[in-house]
């Protein structure tokens, strides 16, 4: 593990050193050209300002990446991601201040300079700024962290009732949103790998307005399963037999709750609620259904 970390760190150090040398060479060439009066004197601050921005952004990105790769194994992905995020904010802010200093613009003057052009620029960049502030709020308030499995659902939509067969009789609700594992929180986006292994980038401005379901807080979740049973089978016999089989499943943490939910002309529908280990519900539900089928078939063939 330490060999991998050292390899990654050395790689970033080599890239950083090469970039610094390249920037120094470009700055030296520009200084020489300006000294020989091959570049108008008035344009020199512009060139130096552009070099400062490029070098500041590049070095900040490389350092933050190196810190994340080097510390994720020792302090955890979440802490390493937070530290990397702070380095980016500090580096970008310092780069902007250095850029302003080349043009002898003080911070107060820069903040006071507005007018029509400032308004247009603010309107054009409001989405970017809202994403940056959203990322800062996520890091500060920590509604979720790296490696959490979450469901992101915008609060405007609420819950949807299913309206497709065979769920026409169901009282279930669907949470519209995206579910997956958080992999990284950057200035603009939060990176998620969904349950179907699809990379997803969600703007931070959306996340701070969304409802976030963190599904791995306790390491267990309630799995709700429905099953339709013929009325020829006594309900009490069915419930007792199903409960005995479901309780034997290894992932069941407490006694399952089984009750009749609805009744049709020839059948009645039971619901089984059980607290199961893990974050996912598909595999536990499959095993519960199989146990229920065996219990019902046993009663039919009795």
Q: Is the pLDDT of residue 166 over 50?
A: no
The pLDDT tens digits for 228-273 are: 999 999 999 999 999 999 999 999 988 999 999 888 889 999 999 9
* Contact between 84 and 139 (Cβ < 8 Å): no
* Per-residue pLDDT at 164: 46
Measured between alpha carbons, how far is 84 from 67 in angstroms, rounded to an integer?
A: 6
Give the percent of the chain with pLDDT over 90. Answer: 19
CB-CB neighbours of 68 under 10 Å: 21
Q: Quote the mean pLDDT of the chain.
A: 75
Q: What are phi and psi of 185, to 5 degrees?
A: -120, 110
The pLDDT tens digits for 75-128 are: 566 667 777 777 887 887 787 777 666 666 554 554 454 444 454 445 445 677
Binned at pLDDT 50, 70 and 90, residue 5 comes out as very low
User: What are the Cα distances from residue 232, in Å, to 169, 210, 216, 238?
Assistant: 21, 47, 41, 10
H-helix segments, the chain: 2-35, 44-75, 77-102, 107-112, 115-124, 126-141, 204-207, 235-247, 282-300
* Per-residue pLDDT at 218: 64
220-300 placed in CATH 3.40.50.1950: no
pTM for the whole structure: 0.55
């Amino acid at each position: 593990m330490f060999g991998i970390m050292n390899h990654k760190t050395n790689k970033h150090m080599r890239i950083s050193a090469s970039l610094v040398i390249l920037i120094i060479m470009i700055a030296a060439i520009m200084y020489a050209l300006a000294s020989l009066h091959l570049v108008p004197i008035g344009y020199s601050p512009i060139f130096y300002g552009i070099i400062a921005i490029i070098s500041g952004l590049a070095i900040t990105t490389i350092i933050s990446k190196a810190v994340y790769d080097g510390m994720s194994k020792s302090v955890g992905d979440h802490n390493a991601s937070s530290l990397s995020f702070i380095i980016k904010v500090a580096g970008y802010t310092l780069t902007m201040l250095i850029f302003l200093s080349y043009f002898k613009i003080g911070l107060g003057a820069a903040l006071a300079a507005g007018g029509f052009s400032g308004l247009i620029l603010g309107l054009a960049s409001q989405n970017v700024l809202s994403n940056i502030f959203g990322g800062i709020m996520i890091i500060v308030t920590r509604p979720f962290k790296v490696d959490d499995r979450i469901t992101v659902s915008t609060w405007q939509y609420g819950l949807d009732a299913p309206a497709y067969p065979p769920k026409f009789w169901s009282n279930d609700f669907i949470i519209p949103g995206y579910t997956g594992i958080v992999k990284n929180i950057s200035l603009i986006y939060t990176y998620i790998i969904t349950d179907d292994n699809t990379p997803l980038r969600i703007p931070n401005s959306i996340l701070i307005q969304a409802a976030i379901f963190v599904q791995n807080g306790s390491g267990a979740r309630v799995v709700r399963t429905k099953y339709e049973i013929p009325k020829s089978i006594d309900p009490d016999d069915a419930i007792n037999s199903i409960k005995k089989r479901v309780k034997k499943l290894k992932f069941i943490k407490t006694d399952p709750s089984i009750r009749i939910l609805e009744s049709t002309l020839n059948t009645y529908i039971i619901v089984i609620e059980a607290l199961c280990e893990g974050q996912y519900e598909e595999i536990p539900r499959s095993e519960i259904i199989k146990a229920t089928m065996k219990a019902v078939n046993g009663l039919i063939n009795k």
